[in-house]
Chain A
Amino acid sequence: MHLFRWTRGKGRGTSTDTLGESLFQWFSTLIALGVVGVLVLIAIVLFFEAEASIRAFGWSFLGGTVWNPQPPLLFGAFPFVYGTLVTSALALLFGVPISLGIAIFLSELAPPWIRIPLTYVVELLAAVPSVVYGLWGIFVLAPVMRTAIEPFLQGTLGFLPIFQGTPIGLDKLSAGVILAIMIIPTISSVSREAFLAVPDSQREAALSLGATRWETTRLAVLRYARAGIFGAVILGLGRAVGETMAVTMTIGNKNVISVSLFDQGQTIASWIANNFTEAETPLELSAFIELGLVLMLMSLIINIFARLMVARVLRRGEGAA
C-alpha cells in the first residue's frame, strides 16, 4: 500500500512538510475566496455598467413601460418584470401541486422497487437543456395549446379576462407551462427530502389513531415538512425567474403588457436574450445591464430566503415552523 511508501521514504515533521502544510491551506483558501470574489465582481461590474441608466431613470425604471432606443431615450423595466412575475406565478401554480404529488408518491405511496427508477426519471427532466425545452415548446406544446387547450379554456372560462383574445400558442400561458415542467425536478426533490426527514414515529402516531394513508400523509408528513415544502417552492421560484431560453422561445417576444394569458409577452431574461446584442446606444446597454441587475437581485433574494428556510428545517429537525 503506497501509504507506507510515503511514511518510510520521507522524514516526518520536516520543515518542508510544515511549509507544504500552510502553503496548501493558504492556496486552497485563496482559490475559494477568489471564487467568492467573482460573485462580488459580478455585483461590482453590473452596478458599474448600470450606473448610467440608474442615474438617468432612478426608481422610475422599475415602473417604466416604454423601451425606446431612439431619442428621446427612455427605458423602463415594467413589462419585463410583469412578464417574469406572470410566467413564474403560472409555473408555481402548475408546478407545485404536481411536484408535491410526485414527492408524496415517491416517498409515501410507491412500492420500494419503483422508487429509484422513477426518481431517476423525474431527475432526467432536469437534465434536458433549456433550449431543447424551447424547441419542444415551439413545435409540440404551442400547437397543442393553440388548437386544443386554449380554445377549451376560452370556451369554458372565456368570461375571465385572462382567457380572452385570440389563442396564439406562443404566449405567456405556454411559457408558464414549460417553466412549470422545468421546475418540477427542483421542487419535488427538495420536498421529497423534507418528507424523508419526517420521522416514522409521526406516521405511526397518525396511523394508530385510525388515519388512512392519505390522512397520515396530510397530518403527519405534510404538516411536519411544511417549512421544507415552502423552501422547495421558493427554490423553484428562483429557478423559474432566471430561466431564459425555454421562455424566450415560447413567450412570443412582444413588449406588451396584457392581462390575457393568450397574449405574447416578455420576461427580463428573454428581453435581454433577444435584444442585448442589438443595443444601439451606451445608455441602452446600461439599461439592459440594469435589467440584468434587477433580475439578479430578484433571484438572489428569492434563493437566499429559500436556503435559509430549508436550512432552518434541517437544523431544527422537527417540523414546528
Chain B
Amino acid sequence: MAIKLSVESLSAWYGEKLAIQDITMDIEDRMVTAVIGPSGCGKSTLIRCLNRMHETIPKARVEGKVLLQGEDVYASSPVSVRRRIGMVFQKANPFPTMSIYDNVAAGLRLNGVRNRDELDKAVLGSLKQAALWDEVKDSLDESGASLSGGQQQRLCIARALAVKPEVLLMDEPCSALDPIATAKIEDLIFDLKKDFTLVVVTHNMQQAARVSETTAFMYLGKLIEVNNTRELFERPREALTESYITGRFG
C-alpha cells in the first residue's frame, strides 16, 4: 500500500479558534479515504489544509506537516500544490460566464496550454472521466451554469481533473444533490480511484461505507479513529465511533 499523502500532527486555527487538533493519518494511493463526523467536527478544515485552501481565510493558521509523496506541501508554492491536489466543493461552482468547454479548460489555460488540439483532447478526456461527455458533447459552448445541479458538479469534477492532479479532495460533493445525481457521482468515485487518490468528506455514513476503503472519524477537531472502512463500521475501536455510527448523536 503506497502512501500518497501523509498528515503529521496537523492543527489548524481560525484566528484564535482551534478547528482541528494534532491530526496524524496516512492517505493511501489510488484508494478512497472517507472522512466522517458530525457537523463542526473539522472534517472540511482538515481537507482544506491538504491543498492549502485553509490559509485563504484571513487569520487562518496551520501547524504540523502535510507530505505529498514525501514533499512538504507547505514548503512549496500553493499554486503548485493545488495543481497536484485538486478540489471539488459542496456546492458546485462552475464559472457561469464561461462555456462548459472553457470551464474544463480553465485550469489548463492557467498552466499555459494554448494549443487548440491539446485543449480539445484534454477537455474530451476529462469530461469522459467525469461521466459527463455524452450529456454535453453537443453543447460545449453553453454556459457552465446552464446544467442541472448534478451535471454542474460533474463539470466541476471534470474541471478539477483536467489539470491531472494526483489527489482529488471532495468536500461533501453530494450534499446538495438528489439521490439519482448522488448515485451517479458515487459511481464516478468508483471509476476515478483507478487513476486518482480520493479523499471524500461526507456527513452520510452510508455513502462512506459504500465508496471508501478507508474511513476516518473525527469529532470536535480530533481524529478519533481511522481504519479500514469495514473494520470501522463493523468493529469500531472507540466508544465514540460506535456512538456516532449507531446514530446516537450527530
Contacts and interface: CB of A to CB of B under 8 A. Distances in A.
Task: Indicate whether A and B are direct neighbours in the complex (CB within 8 Å).
Answer: yes
Interface of A: 111-112, 199, 201-212, 215, 219-220, 223-224, 226, 318-321
Given A206-B106, A223-B98, 19 more contacts: A202-B93, A204-B53, A204-B87, A204-B93, A205-B89, A205-B94, A205-B159, A208-B87, A209-B83, A209-B106, A209-B110, A210-B81, A210-B111, A215-B110, A219-B95, A224-B96, A224-B97, A226-B97, A319-B96
Contact of A209 (B96, B97, B107): B107
By Cβ-Cβ distance, the 7 closest A-B pairs, closest first, are A210-B83, A208-B87, A209-B107, A210-B82, A201-B93, A205-B93, A320-B96
Contact of B95 (A112, A212, A223, A321): A223
A46 B94 CA distance: 51
A321 B145 CA distance: 12
A112 B78 CA distance: 22
A228 B106 CA distance: 23
A223 B97 contact: yes
B160 interface: yes
B107 A207 contact: no
Interface of B: 51, 53, 56, 58, 78-83, 86-87, 89, 91, 93-98, 106-107, 110-111, 143, 145, 156, 159-160, 163
A211 B91 CA distance: 20
B57 to A, nearest CB: 9
A5 to B, nearest CB: 47
A309 B145 CA distance: 20
Given A215-B110, A318-B145, A207 B53 contact: yes
Q: Which of A111, A205, A219, A319 has the most CB of B within 10 A?
A: A205
Given A202-B95, A224-B96, A209 B89 contact: no
B163 A209 contact: yes
B159 A209 contact: yes
B89 A212 contact: no
Contacts, number: 76
Contacts of B160: 208-209
Nearest to B162: A209
Given A112-B58, A202-B95, A208 B53 contact: yes
A111 B110 CA distance: 26
Contacts of B106: 206, 209, 219
Contacts of A219: 95, 106, 110
B26 to A, nearest CB: 23
A199 B159 CA distance: 19
Given A209-B110, A219-B95, A320 B145 contact: yes
A211 B110 contact: yes
A319 B110 contact: no
A320 B53 contact: no
B149 to A, nearest CB: 14
Nearest to B111: A210
B130 to A, nearest CB: 15
A215 B87 CA distance: 17
Contacts of B53: 204, 207-208
Given A318-B145, A321-B97, A205 B156 contact: yes
A105 to B, nearest CB: 16
A206 B111 CA distance: 12
B176 to A, nearest CB: 11
A10 to B, nearest CB: 51
Contacts of A111: 58
29 contacts: A112-B58, A201-B93, A202-B93, A202-B95, A203-B56, A205-B94, A205-B156, A207-B53, A207-B56, A208-B51, A208-B86, A209-B106, A210-B79, A210-B82, A210-B83, A210-B111, A211-B79, A219-B95, A220-B95, A223-B95, A224-B96, A224-B97, A226-B97, A318-B96, A319-B97, A320-B96, A320-B97, A320-B145, A321-B97
B103 to A, nearest CB: 9
Contacts of B110: 209-211, 215, 219
Contacts of B159: 205, 209
Contacts of A215: 110
Contacts of B91: 201
Q: Which of B58, B78, B82, B95 has the most CB of A within 10 A?
A: B95
Contacts of A206: 95, 106
Nearest to B98: A223
Contact of A208 (B82, B97, B98): B82
B143 A320 contact: yes
Contacts of A112: 58
Nearest to A212: B79
A293 B48 CA distance: 59
A315 to B, nearest CB: 15
B79 A205 contact: no
Contacts of B98: 223
Contacts of B56: 203-204, 207
Given A210-B111, A210-B163, A224 B80 contact: no
Contacts of B96: 224, 318-320
A50 B222 CA distance: 79
A320 B145 CA distance: 8
Contacts of A201: 89, 91, 93
